[in-house]
Amino acid sequence: MGDPMRIRAQAKDGNVLVRILMSHEMESGQRKDASGKIVPAWWIQEVTAKLNDKQVFSCEWGPAVSKNPFLEFTVKGGKAGDKVSVSWKDSKGDTRTDEATVS
Amino acid sequence: MTVHKLAAAAAALGLIAATTVAIAQKTSTEAIEEYREMLQDGNPADLYEMKGEELWKKARGPKNASLEKCDLGLGAGVTKGVFVQLPRYFADTNQVQDLESRLVTCMSTLQGIDPKEVINGQWGKGERANATALATWVAAQSKGMQFHLPQSQPQERIAYEMGKRAFFQSGGSHDFSCATCHGEEGKRIRLQDLPNLTKNPGDGIGFAAWPAYRVSNGQMWTMQHRLNDCYRQQRFPEPTYGSAITIALGVYMGVNAQGAKSAVPTIKR
């Protein structure tokens, strides 16, 4: 299982602003190590987010996304006290899910 | 169209052109500042802080102990405010120590982790990576506080003088010293402004900016790593982790930065 994400969710004017910082190497598969061997690709492929068990966000990523990616989006509706849960799945099949409460 | 209207249209066009030029004239420094500001909100240093906090509280090592009894200068277990007073003299080790070398001492005495695992380790790997995460978390506890390194012990004053000498000593194949780049105002390497470290360079600049997350390589760098790479760039032999010279330079920069507010952990290009 990957390292924990840092999720912040803030309610403002009837919307919820979600900011997520993920901890991941995001290897593109284009880099070579010190001995000249290609570092195998390893990146987050799918990201989904739920607001109180209802899916509100999903995306597919490629290897061009940076290391330790930062993602921000706004969800219509939602209020303080709601639960935001974010999951990712990477190219090795590893997954990670973290939760935060909307403040 | 009358001549009048034409003139007005031309004037308006001229205005647009002028505005465009004004936008294009935003200095590279301003553009970089804007870029840093955008990144600040999602600074991945937070991830290292989280890791560091966990490592501080977790029982680890051959002695299966946490670091919660570690004395970083203000008493066992105190983390708030210690960063802005380091490096300082520690009676138990009879040495002036910076944050990283003091953490290594605690990892060794409390947890039984061999200091060599950090000192001879590689950046970003194993126990040295753990020390970086710990340093990031501890340093972050003093965010916004002002630097006031103690100079009451003779060892601390000697370290300052040693650091000063090292700072101005030039050598290596390029005859460089720290002062070559950091001895006066207004210098830069490519687009990076270089702080003048012979005085207080301002809040959150220079000594008050590290540990920092480096966006370009995705690494978290402590002051030990920063100094190591400064020496490498000067074509000097790379200093040993936590060695006397790195700590002396820390004392020199830290004392000079008296009153500067710590912005740690920061984000760099």
pTM (predicted TM-score): 0.82
Amino acid making up residue B246: T
User: How many domains, chain B?
Assistant: 2
- pLDDT at B226 exceeding the cut of 60: yes
A:19-48 residues touching chain B, CB 8 A cutoff = 19, 21, 23
User: How many domains, chain A?
Assistant: 1
Q: Which residues of A touch B51 (CB under 8 A)?
A: 3
Residue A75: exposed, middle, or buried by beta-carbon count in 10 A (0-12, 13-18, 19+)?
buried
Mean residue pLDDT of chain B comes to 89
Whether residue B206 contacts residue B262, with contact meaning beta carbons closer than 8 Å, is answered with: no
Q: Are residues B12 and B64 in the same domain?
A: no
Domain, as residue range, for A68: 6-30+38-101
Among the partner residues B47, B51, B218, nearest to A21 by beta-carbon distance = B47
Q: Are residues B93 and B224 in the same domain?
A: yes
Place of tokens 């803030």: A10
Q: What integer is the mean pLDDT of B248-254?
A: 97
Q: Are residues B54 and B180 in the same domain?
A: yes
Q: Are residues B158 and B80 in the same domain?
A: yes
Query: What are the structure tokens assigned to B243, written together?
Result: 């060695």
Q: Say if the Cβ atoms of A3 and B46 lie within 8 Å.
A: no
Q: What integer is the mean pLDDT of A32-57?
A: 94
Q: Are residues B183 and B224 in the same domain?
A: yes
Q: Which residues of A touch B42 (CB under 8 A)?
A: 19, 21, 70, 72
CATH of the domain at A83: 2.60.40.10
Q: pLDDT digit string (tens) for B230-245?
A: 999 999 999 999 999 9
Domain, as residue range, for B223: 42-268
Closest CA to B177 of B163, B191, B158, B192: B163
Place of tokens 């912005």: B263
Q: Are residues B178 and B160 in the same domain?
A: yes
Q: Are residues B257 and B163 in the same domain?
A: yes
Distance CA B210, CA B204 (A): 9
CATH of the domain at B188: 1.10.760.10
Q: Are residues B47 and B34 in the same domain?
A: no
- pLDDT at B22 exceeding the cut of 80: no
Q: Say if the Cβ atoms of A68 and B41 lie within 8 Å.
A: no
Closest CA to A24 of B240, B44, B117: B44
Q: pLDDT digit string (tens) for B162-220?
A: 999 999 999 989 999 999 999 999 888 887 889 999 999 999 999 999 999 998 888 99
**Residue of chain B whose alpha carbon sits nearest to that of A68:** B44
**Residue of chain B whose alpha carbon sits nearest to that of A67:** B218
Residue B181's SS3 state is helix
Q: Which residues of A touch B43 (CB under 8 A)?
A: 21
Best to test chain A binding among B38, B46, B216 (most A CBs inside 10 Å): B46
> Which residue has better confidence, B160 or B190?
B160
Q: Are residues B9 and B81 in the same domain?
A: no
Q: Which residues of B touch A98 (CB under 8 A)?
A: none
Q: Are residues B115 and B131 in the same domain?
A: yes
- pLDDT at B29 exceeding the cut of 70: yes
- pLDDT at B16 exceeding the cut of 90: no
Q: Are residues B92 and B31 in the same domain?
A: no
Q: pLDDT digit string (tens) for B33-45?
A: 787 777 777 888 9
Asked whether residue A1 is domain-assigned, the answer is no
Among the partner residues A66, A68, A72, nearest to B47 by beta-carbon distance = A68
Distance CA B84, CA B135 (A): 12
Q: Are residues B35 and B49 in the same domain?
A: no
Read off φ and ψ for residue A96, nearest 5 degrees: -150, 135
Asked whether residue A48 is domain-assigned, the answer is yes
